Structure 1
Amino acid sequence: MISLQLLFPLLALAFTILAWLTPDALLAWEYSTPTLLLILMFILGLNLRLQDFQRVLRKPERMAIGVVLQFILMPLSGWLLSLAIPLTNSYQVGLLLTATASASLLAPAFVFLASGDLALAIAITVLGNLWGIIISPWLIPFSTGLTVELQPSALLIATLLPVLVLVSGMFCQYWLPDIRQRLHSYMPAAVISLLLAMMAIQTASLVDMVSVVPVSVWLAVILLNLTGLGAAFLICRHKGMTIAEQRTVSLQTGLQAALQTAALANQISGLDASLVPSTLVIWQSLSAAMLAGFWYWQTQQQIRQIRRNQSVSTFEPGQH
């Protein structure tokens, strides 16, 4: 029987297409996305222990690499793409704002499905978003030339609330370990279901705007996302990080907080600027689903190979 995690890329594509073609059926659920996110974070918390974060803290350079790539690699990539691809001023602003965004809060869920390091993903997400609150008032004007008034308290709440829900999931699995054991085999399916629901709802809510976006914007968005994913993966491999860590930092770097950036872009530069991060919302979920499915398949292949090797060594001649 084919695992649901292997089917995740196809399901993500199918749900996105259906939402694109029939958005009206999902618009009533548009405001349910924050609730679905909190449920998702609680489920992820059930898969974490305090020891996982202690392990991550013993190698702080892994977290530092993830945060540095987010705020150096991505803005630099966005700036280079804005020079290389012919875009209007508004689209350029939207691209540069997107490139300076923190990691998406959905990134750890994709890391979980990709057999990555979930604790490292959460650590990078929290540190990156907190650092983004500090640096964005300077980074955004430096990148775009525009002044912006951010609300640090609102950004802090938006970051910490999902984290608190995740921590509650950790406490739940600590005090009630039977719950995690009973639900363990269903957790990937639950995470996939929540992600598919959010992807479909977001696509339906954005399709009217994104459907008029020119090809040049799609090209810029796709290249920004793929550059972040690919360059981060290669840099982590060069640094000697484990496969799980490579996957984690790659997804944390390539997946931006695009939905929040769309609102910010609309506020400071108008609707056209917000179309760039809005387009990324749809694309990056698809690319992350593809990667998560592929990396899960790759992990399963490696596990099967190890088991085959163990079976062969068990029945070697002279050991009967």
Structure 2
Amino acid sequence: MLGTVIRLFPLWAILLSLFAYQQPALFIDMKSAIVPLLTVVMLTMGLTLKPQDFLDVVKNRRAVSIGILLQFTVMPMVAIVISLALGFNPEQTVGMVLVGSVAGGTASNVICYLAKGDVALSISMTAISTLLGVFLTPVLTGALAGLSVEVPMTAMLMSLIKIVLLPVVGGVLINSFLSGLTQRLLPVLPLISVSAIVVIIAIVVALNAASLAVIGPAIALAVILHNGLGLAAGYYACRLLGMPEIVCRTIAIEVGLQNSGLATALAMKFFTPVAAIPGTLFSIWHNISGSLLAAYWSKTPQMKRPSKPSADFSKG
């Protein structure tokens, strides 16, 4: 029952978003709760990790390295290209760049499992990209969006340390020393995370209720293109590099699914509610597309590795 509730995350997000769109006054005053809610999400992520998950990078260092490189190059660059192609204003552009510059999404591990990917690799990539994102997200946002809007890189870095690094590290430490407690909490942690993200989405929808009808469709198109191109680039780049199918699927999911809740929170804290719309819509869409892709891959035999592969990336 609990698993079904969690898997229906996109439905709850859509329903609460529609309610917030119709009754924005009920959510607007909750604006200050966005960052604390995101901190809770990152803490729940930390509670599911152990130091071993970071050490596992050594075992999969080639695959992780390629995945991280794609994560922090493909997604930011695709975001800026789409924004320019669709003629977005600076607020919309910085929102797209934020989505492209954050780490992989916390939902990627579940999607990877459903898609019959390499869950250990997925967890390792999520953990490492989350830590790297603390420093890379402000740098990439400043480099790509800084020409059109002032990006407070130092302030953003400090916020990411407080919102991401400290909660994740704290969760890992709690899971290491109080594993009995975290094991009991494990079944409800995804529900806590999903609930927090759904509320964040609803708040942002309420704050943008007046403008969503005008700018929402264009940003929705951008989000769908961004997510789709990220999934495709992650998969086919790995195929070209001769990686095993299971690794190709895993990296595709890690590259295509972003921590858009974090992008939304950063947009609200440092920019405007309009800049938070891409992250809000991405949060809904990437769970839908990821679930559909997982359903397809779970029933699809894994393709054989391309002939004369350049290397076996499944091992260290």
Task: Report TM bin, short chain.
Answer: 0.7 to 0.9
Counterparts of 1:167 and 1:122, CA distance in 2? 10
Which of the numbers 283, 287, 290 marks the counterpart of 2:288?
A: 290
Matched pairs, number? 286
TM-score by length of 1: 0.73
Counterparts of 2:24 and 2:104, CA distance in 1? 24
Report the equivalent of 1:250.
256
Aligned ranges 1:214-253 → 2 under 5 Å:
215-239=217-241, 240=243, 241=247, 243-252=249-258
Counterparts of 1:99 and 1:278, CA distance in 2? 9
Question: Cα–Cα, structure 1 residues 193 and 220, in superposed 2: closer, same or farther, change >3 Å?
Answer: closer
1:80-107 Cα shifts (integer Å, max 9, x gaps): 435644x3xxx25445534543657685
Deviation at 1:228, TM superposition (A): 2.6
Question: Cα–Cα, structure 1 residues 282 and 139, in superposed 2: closer, same or farther, change >3 Å?
Answer: closer
Report the equivalent of 1:65.
66
Report the equivalent of 1:109.
106
Report the equivalent of 2:47.
46
Which of the numbers 200, 203, 215 marks the counterpart of 1:201?
A: 203
Question: Cα–Cα, structure 1 residues 301 and 54, in superposed 2: closer, same or farther, change >3 Å?
Answer: same
Counterparts of 1:29 and 1:294, CA distance in 2? 32
Counterparts of 1:253 and 1:68, CA distance in 2? 16
Counterparts of 1:61 and 1:194, CA distance in 2? 34
Higher helix share: 1
State the AA in 1 paired with 2:33.
S
Aligned ranges 1:1-320 → 2 under 5 Å:
3-78=4-79, 80-82=81-83, 84-85=85-86, 87=87, 91-94=88-91, 96-101=93-98, 107-114=104-111, 115=113, 117-140=122-145, 144=147, 146=148, 148=150, 150-152=152-154, 154-161=155-162, 162-213=164-215, 215-239=217-241, 240=243, 241=247, 243-252=249-258, 257-258=263-264, 260-261=266-267, 275=274, 277-294=275-292
Backbone CA RMSD of aligned residues:
3.4
Q: Which runs of 5+ in 1 are unaligned?
A: 267-273, 303-320
1:13-55 Cα shifts (integer Å, max 9, x gaps): 2122222222211122221111111111111111111111101
State the AA in 1 paired with 2:38.
L
Question: Cα–Cα, structure 1 residues 237 and 196, in superposed 2: closer, same or farther, change >3 Å?
Answer: farther
State the AA in 1 paired with 2:127.
I
Counterparts of 2:17 and 2:106, CA distance in 1? 18
Deviation at 1:62, TM superposition (A): 3.8
Counterparts of 2:293 and 2:283, CA distance in 1? 15
TM-score by length of 2: 0.74
* Secondary structure of the corresponding residue to residue 26 of structure 1: helix
State the AA in 1 paired with 2:280.
I
* Secondary structure of the corresponding residue to residue 197 of structure 2: helix
Q: Contact conserved, 2:75 with 2:230, CA < 8 A, in 1?
A: yes
1:216-248 Cα shifts (integer Å, max 9, x gaps): 454334323432343334434544225334322
State the AA in 2 paired with 1:126.
L
Q: Which runs of 5+ in 2 are unaligned?
A: 114-118, 301-316
Question: Cα–Cα, structure 1 residues 213 and 140, in superposed 2: closer, same or farther, change >3 Å?
Answer: closer
Q: Contact conserved, 1:103 with 1:125, CA < 8 A, in 2?
A: no
Q: Contact conserved, 2:41 with 2:193, CA < 8 A, in 1?
A: yes
Counterparts of 2:103 and 2:203, CA distance in 1? 14
* Secondary structure of the corresponding residue to residue 215 of structure 2: coil
Counterparts of 1:300 and 1:179, CA distance in 2? 33
